[in-house]
Amino acid sequence: MTPMKTGLLLAAGTLFLAGGASAQTIDDSALLEQATALFSPIPHMIPKINDNAVTKEKIELGRMLFFDPRLSSSHLLSCNTCHNLAMGGDDNLETSIGHGWQAGPRNAPTVYNAVLNVAQFWDGRAEDLKTQAKGPIQAGVEMNSRPDVVVATLKSMPEYVAHFDRAFPNEDDAVTFDNLARAIEAFEATLLTPASPFDQYLEGNTNAMTEPQKRGLKTFIDTGCIACHSGVNVGGQSYHPFGVVEQPGSDILPPDDKGRFSVTETATDQYVFRAPALRNVARTAPYFHSGRVWDLKQAVAVMGVSQLGEELNAQQVDDIVAFLTALNGEIPETVVPQLPASTADTPRPMPMDE
Amino acid sequence: MTPMKTGLLLAAGTLFLAGGASAQTIDDSALLEQATALFSPIPHMIPKINDNAVTKEKIELGRMLFFDPRLSSSHLLSCNTCHNLAMGGDDNLETSIGHGWQAGPRNAPTVYNAVLNVAQFWDGRAEDLKTQAKGPIQAGVEMNSRPDVVVATLKSMPEYVAHFDRAFPNEDDAVTFDNLARAIEAFEATLLTPASPFDQYLEGNTNAMTEPQKRGLKTFIDTGCIACHSGVNVGGQSYHPFGVVEQPGSDILPPDDKGRFSVTETATDQYVFRAPALRNVARTAPYFHSGRVWDLKQAVAVMGVSQLGEELNAQQVDDIVAFLTALNGEIPETVVPQLPASTADTPRPMPMDE
């Protein structure tokens, strides 16, 4: 294996040695001990957010903004268009469709549990969700709007102004693009999916996972998947080249997308991406930043070759996929918000203006 | 006034004579008596649907289908895209944006209370919501799919098959395009917005509407608006030429859309449309089948000239608009459904295939 950018490598190597045949009966107490050292359950409580105390008022406003297509210049596309809360928190497309039916450059990651990632976007260019939220609103291939238009839109509706005043009290001018981003971040921080079979297992209920799922967890640890996919979100914490050992073909790794290199301009960051969090991964096909692989089994096999330098056998792949389905958590219930009606002062939609 | 296609004309004429100055104090008992003869409150209960008993199981399935973008060939557009439950049940665009970013031909009507209309679409070409639901799914400028693809999509997901089996018990093959339409109709039948100020007024609470709203109601009756806009849905029941008295300009009435003529091929149906229901009209700008008028005041003034042959004065327009805002009902709470994940057998999205 080539060097990895994580301190977990040593641990993974050690566990390699301890790994054994995959069809044997699982020793729950040993596996649980390993697992709890590597992972932690999705919290039921909203985590602390840097520079953004999460209040009821911000969550409520953020939910409205998340569903409001008037944040796009066409008035058709909302955050929820590509991060669809009905479909695992993404759009289940290879790459998203944006303004003017343009194809976006990368697969949309899920918004569920995204608050637990170390940074946002496949290349980590946004340090948190409040920074992330501002990106797609302005991107020409996504929502194609501008901060001044968005602020004018929100200020045109007294009900929105009142919501901002409640969410950001004692501010002279609460309706700002920054505060919009904070409200969206606050809402998104509530989008946690706890209580998956794996979480319940981690909490000590050894009946919560099936035998194949437990075997898959063991294989996931023993083969070294945990080098990139560990922690509370089973990934999302560190950057790695796609192709640690062997680069996949250009069908899966398009040569023109150099990943984190475009952020850091460091040669070693070519084709480096943030390892995706694997929570709810069975709900978020297709896979990889290119979205080119639809089948979770194939995705696992590709990872074996490209990241581990190992052809996983059919049993290993099946077991890992079984384990990955155990990462499906309980989706929080979201009520469709009621958005204020546009007024005479609301900037009109510009669907045909590219 | 030219002949209208409603038995209400005579009543309207009579009321004309009884109408008086608009700024006088309202006699609630007289107005209430007039109003209850012309209108009825939005029901709190789901109405009986022809050939489609509304069950819990159908509603639940219909809610899933309503939000599922996989009913479109792109997997981007759902019923909720154009009939957005967060925005008054429509998309607040002049005409909808559909597959490939094509502009649709007419303004999307609200889905709220649509079950109470005599027929669906601006030209009434669908006799009910189950027939309507099949249209946009197949229309090339809307969702651009086909019944066989939709059925294959649904059958590829065991969770959907189970939902259909529960919603349509004892059927050999429950997953059909007809049953999909029935389930969507059942869900849409729940989208009633009762308890508006006007409904409360109709139920005898004379404090539920403001004085301007009451004056507006009286003006609405006295000037003859009720000839087309009466009944439970304040319209939606009958067909009328746009331009009973005077056709509006081609900016508002594009000459190439001849309305119901395309359904009946009867000369007198040229530029005839179903009078829209005015429930929640203040939430559903822009107006008319062309969506060319954004301001409700302007829409009321245009109606005065084109349908009544009368230049309504500023006071009358303001009062009528005040009354129309009293038609904003209570929007039912909708929880975002959780949709089953696609499987290996689910037909792939075809976003770029037109």
Domain boundary residue among B189, B209, B239? B189
**Which of A189, A204, A229 marks a domain boundary?**
A189
Distance CA B63, CA B80 (A): 10
Based on its alpha-carbon atoms, the radius of gyration of chain B, rounded to whole angstroms, reads 21
Whether the Cβ atoms of residue A155 and residue A149 lie closer than 8 Å to each other: no
Q: What whole-number distance in Å separates Cα of residue A125 and Cα of residue A264? A: 9
What pLDDT does residue A353 have?
A: 67
Q: B79: annotated binding-site residue?
A: yes
Residues B149 and B225 in one domain: no
Mean pLDDT for the stretch of residues B264-286? 94
DSSP A148-185: HHHHHHHHT-HHHHHHHHHHSTT-SS---HHHHHHHHH
pLDDT value at position B18? 43
Per the domain annotation, does A16 fall within a domain? Answer: no
Alpha-carbon distance B82 to nearest alpha carbon in chain A (angstroms): 9
Considering the domain architecture, whether residues B199 and B315 belong to the same structural domain is answered as yes
| B217 lies in the same domain as B168 | no
Contact A336 B338 (CB under 8 A): no
Residues B323, B197 within the same domain:
yes
The answer as to whether A295 is a domain residue is yes
| Structure-token match 């006295």, residue found | B222
Q: Indicate if the pLDDT at residue B112 is higher than 70.
A: yes
Q: Does residue A19 sit within a domain?
A: no
Residue B321 has pLDDT above 90, yes or no: yes
Predicted confidence (pLDDT) at residue B24 exceeds the cutoff of 80: no
Chain A residue numbers touching B349 (CB-CB < 8 A)? 92-94
Cα(first)–Cα(last) distance of chain B, in Å? 46
Side-chain half-sphere of A337: how many Cα atoms within 13 Å?
A: 21
CB contact under 8 A, B76 and A93: yes
pLDDT band, very low/low/confident/very high, at B23 (cuts 50, 70, 90): low
Mind listing the pLDDT tens digit for each residue in B113-155?
A: 999 998 999 988 899 999 999 999 999 999 999 999 999 999 9
Q: Which CATH number belongs to the domain containing residue B74 in this structure?
A: 1.10.760.10
B100 contact A CB<8A: yes
Selecting from A86, A93, A349 the residue whose C-beta is nearest the C-beta of B93 gives A349
Q: Which has more pLDDT, A99 or B1? A: A99
List of residues 6+ apart from A201 with CB closer than 8 A: A32, A35, A208, A209, A214, A217, A326
Quickly state the pLDDT bin for A102 (edges 50, 70, 90): very high
Among residues A94, A142, A185, A188, which one is catalytic? A142
pLDDT of residue A23: 52
pLDDT, position B17: 42
pLDDT tens digits for A6-51? 434 444 444 444 444 445 689 999 999 999 999 999 999 999 999 9
Closest CB to B342 among A103, A285, A331: A285
> Mean per-residue pLDDT for B216-244?
95
Q: What pLDDT sits at residue A245?
A: 87
Whether residue A74 and residue B91 make contact (CB cut-off 8 A), yes or no, is: no
**A142 flagged as catalytic:** yes
> Is A338 in CB contact (< 8 Å) with chain B?
yes
* Rounded average pLDDT over A308-337: 97
Chain A CB within 8 Å of residue B160 CB = no
The residue range of the domain holding A154 is: 56-189
Q: Is residue B1 part of a domain?
A: no
A168 and A197 belong to one structural domain: no
Alpha-carbon gap, residue A221 to A16, rounded angstroms? 8
Phi–psi pair at B99, nearest 5 degrees: -50, 135
Residues A278 and A224 grouped into a single domain:
yes
Across the interface, do A100 and B101 touch by the CB < 8 Å criterion? yes
Which residue in chain B has the smallest CA separation from A68? B86
Whether residue B336 and residue A336 make contact (CB cut-off 8 A), yes or no, is yes
A141 touching B (Cβ < 8 Å)? no
> Confidence class of residue B36 from pLDDT cuts 50, 70 and 90?
very high
Closest residue of B to A335, CA-based?
A: B335
Partner-chain contact A336 B334, CB within 8 Å: yes
pLDDT at B247: 87
Q: What is the number of domains present in chain B?
A: 2
pLDDT tier at A88, thresholds 50, 70, 90: very high
Q: Quick one: pLDDT at residue A108?
A: 96
Show binding-site residues of A. 79, 82-83, 99, 225, 228-229, 303
Last residue of a domain, one of B159, B189, B219: B189
CA distance A91 to A286: 9
Phi, psi of B109 (to 5 degrees): -75, 160
Residue A237 lies in a domain: yes
Are residues A310 and A231 part of one domain?
A: yes
Residue A340 — pLDDT band, cuts 50, 70, 90?
Answer: very high
- The pTM assigned to this predicted structure is 0.92
Question: What does the pLDDT look like over B287-305, one tens digit per residue?
Answer: 999 999 999 999 999 999 9
Helices (H) and strands (E) counted in chain A, each on its own, are 13, 2
B348 touches chain A (CB under 8 A): yes
User: What is the least distance, in Å, from the CA of A46 to any CA of chain B?
Assistant: 20
Reported as a single tens digit per residue, the pLDDT across B78-94 is 999 999 999 999 999 99
What is the number of CB-based contacts under 8 A between chain A and chain B?
95
Distance CA A39, CA A232 (A): 5
User: For position A243, what pLDDT does the model report?
Assistant: 85
